Amino acid sequence: MALGATIYKVDIHVADTDRHYYDSHSLTIARHPSETAERMMVRLLAFARHAQEDLSFTKGLSETDEPDLWLKDLTGEIKLWIEVGQPTDTRILRACGKADQVIIYCFNGHASKLWWDGVSKKVARARNLRVICLPTEPIRTLAQKVERNMDLHINIQEGELFVPTGDEQISLTPSTWHDSASR
């Protein structure tokens, strides 16, 4: 018998001074049996960085033709496609063909750097791709705080994310490895 997803309930409160976005979202997240706590936390951080009313989680690892998060307009057109991890160059290019903007969040330090070195030339022609790397240690620290019911406050200022936990404040400074929009 296959293992089912573990369900998490998360109240996420976003204060993003960069976008002037301040709102709370009650989320239900399914964590696939093969998904790590680190990866799930990166999905939540990606949600916070792009939070808006119609941004939603997809079936993720359970569905190969969908990203981890997406934003669709009223016609069903994909405005934003967000991947977490290290997708193949084929998957990246397919996503770039389907969505107005594609953002990849990687978080595995040296392994992510090796992945990016391997796919960067193959996806260089994509005109709507951004690749962002999150620092490994803060992600690991956040993953240690994972509970089935969480109340997260995520503050974003000048690109940096601040996540207060009961005993400390975790800060993450994302690194942009590729941004075709800025070329």
> pLDDT tens digit string along 98-129?
999 999 999 999 999 999 999 999 999 999 99
Domain that holds residue 93: 6-182
Give the predicted TM-score (pTM) of the model. 0.93
In a domain, 55, yes or no: yes
CA 47, CA 156: separation in Å to the nearest integer? 12
What's the rounded mean pLDDT across residues 55-59? Answer: 89
More confidently predicted of 37 and 64: 37
CA 147, CA 173: separation in Å to the nearest integer? 24
How confident is the model over 72-97, as pLDDT tens digits? 999 999 999 999 999 999 999 999 99
In a domain, 81, yes or no: yes
CA Rg, the chain, in Å? 16
Element (H, E) at 178: strand 175-179
Q: 């079936």: which residue's tokens?
A: 59
Based on the structure, what is the number of domains in the chain?
A: 1
Enumerate the H helices of the chain as residue ranges.
37-49, 89-98, 110-119, 136-143
How confident is the model over 128-174, as pLDDT tens digits? 999 999 999 999 999 999 999 999 999 999 999 999 988 889 999 99
In a domain, 11, yes or no: yes
